Structure 1
């Protein structure tokens, strides 16, 4: 039984797994009951932007009437904190605008992931047609709730809450609400999942990866990260955002651009800025 192939998605999944001072902008807020099990988030009217938080140092004062603050971090990392009023629009549309702007800093990653996504379905169909049934060792195990079938490099495993299919260099795994596709030949892994209303999506191909998460409920709790092993012309290797806000807004969004591919302290400090303003 091709044990090494079945380990591919598991390995890929594992691999992807301060106070205000006198010069800070003051906050004015009220609590809103959004019936969210994670707790109510605050309705923010102006941003609270401490001079320093973790590894970040604020540049100047807040601009645009207290709705934007800019920070610098290690190796020239850039973090901007935004207060975004939805005015009847959706948080998803507002975040898509941030995503589009940030993506321009990593054009190679965007092109690579789009090409991989567009070619994925066609490649899977071609692989299915070009991969005849393998000859050689066979294994079959059947029991209540258990079905394991293996032939050569191909295998199908069905257990309660777990479904694995492996064909040569490719593997597909379903675990509860998660679906993982992996390919040795193309160096890619895709993960889609939902549990208790919370969603996670990971797409990785060669040098680039995109990670997206969102929490269930009416409030906005979302993050998005795009990374590339290859630095852009400006040296960026990671861009992303952390966003939170009550249902109907406003939402607080911290955008990040970093020359380190690892999320590290910069992204965590950006998350702390968001939490300081709107809550967890």
Structure 2
């Protein structure tokens, strides 16, 4: 079996383990009865800031007219809860400002990821400039692959490999692997990955997850479809920043037009762990799911 096909099947059947000793991006989705369905988000005039919630303990009282609360957590983690009125500002502008401020807490991680983006863009431009040569190489590769291909067809199953490329079609599942690019469709879930740029994009209906990884630095964005704001952004790195942070991020939630409740997280632990869940509970307490 060709390597790309093996990697894709491995990703489907063993997301929680490494295949053939390679590093993998682990994607986990969980749902419990306690979460319940998403509902209509509340319009908030002032924050609810309990003294404690989970592992978090509030520092002082709410500030700025009840629009900011600060918490500390395990290993010196810091969580700030913000109530932001949009007025005439777009939610994208507001969240970009939060992302920019938090990114400054881990400047080397941010620089590595942005450098990887720039490198990928440069490689793409170079590939476009060499399109004619690439077409010729592809023609030769197709000719070689024709002599190095395999096909399996049985009722409900279609597997075809051509050199380093592979197509797999099973009931409800479609896998395509072409060079660095891979596509997996399972029911209404669509996963697109590109090893060359270190990116993975997952879409289920209007819900989206975007992952960019370079070396051990990772940036994750999630957004939930609909008119309301439900957005998560996380930046992680096993190498601590000068201030000791290994994870920064935010959870933002609010009705269309605002106000929006945003919990910012700074942690010395690379894993999201309890502090992120507790910050999310703070948001839920204020605005709902």
Partner of 2:6: 4
1:30 aligns with none
CA RMSD of aligned residues (A): 2.8
Q: CA deviation at 1:8?
A: 6.2
Show the counterpart of 1:21: none
Q: Give the match for residue 20 of structure 2.
A: none
Report the Cα distance in structure 1 between the residues aligned to 2:208 and 2:7, rounded to whole angstroms: 26
Matched, 1:217 2:219: no
For 1:61, what is the secondary structure of its paired residue? coil
Aligned to 1:179: 191
1:140-172 CA distance string (max 9 Å, x none): 2357876533134332335555231143xx341
In structure 2, relative to structure 1, the CA distance for the partners of 1:123 and 1:5 (3 Å cut) is farther
2:176 equivalent in structure 1 = 164
The 10-residue stretch of structure 1 (142-151 or 249-258) with the greater mean CA deviation from structure 2: 142-151
Instruction: Name the SS of the counterpart of 1:16 in structure 2.
Output: coil
- For 1:73-152, what aligned pairs fall within 5 Å after superposition? 73-123=73-123, 125=127, 129=134, 133=141, 137-141=148-152, 147-152=158-163
Cα distance, 1:235–1:16 mapped onto 2, change above 3 Å: farther
Please name the residue that 1:242 is paired with: 251
Q: Which runs of 4+ in 1 moved over 6 A?
A: none
Q: Which stretch shifts more, 107-116 or 5-14?
A: 5-14
1:108, distance to aligned residue in structure 2 (A) = 1.8
Structure (1 or 2) with the greater strand fraction: 1
Shift of residue 211 of structure 1? 1.0
Aligned to 1:26: none
Gaps of 5+ in 1: 18-36
2: CA distance, partners of 1:212 / 1:85:
22
TM-score (norm 2): 0.78
* Distance (whole Å) between structure 1 residues aligned to residue 229 and residue 190 of structure 2: 22
Any gaps of 5 or more consecutive residues in structure 2? Answer: 16-22, 29-36
Partner of 1:202: 211
TM norm structure 1: 0.80
**Residue in structure 2 matching 1:265, options 270, 274, 283:** 274
Give the C-alpha shift of residue 58 in structure 1: 0.7
Residue 72 of structure 2 is matched in structure 1 by 72
- Give the Å deviation of 1:200: 1.4
Other structure's SS at 1:93 match: helix
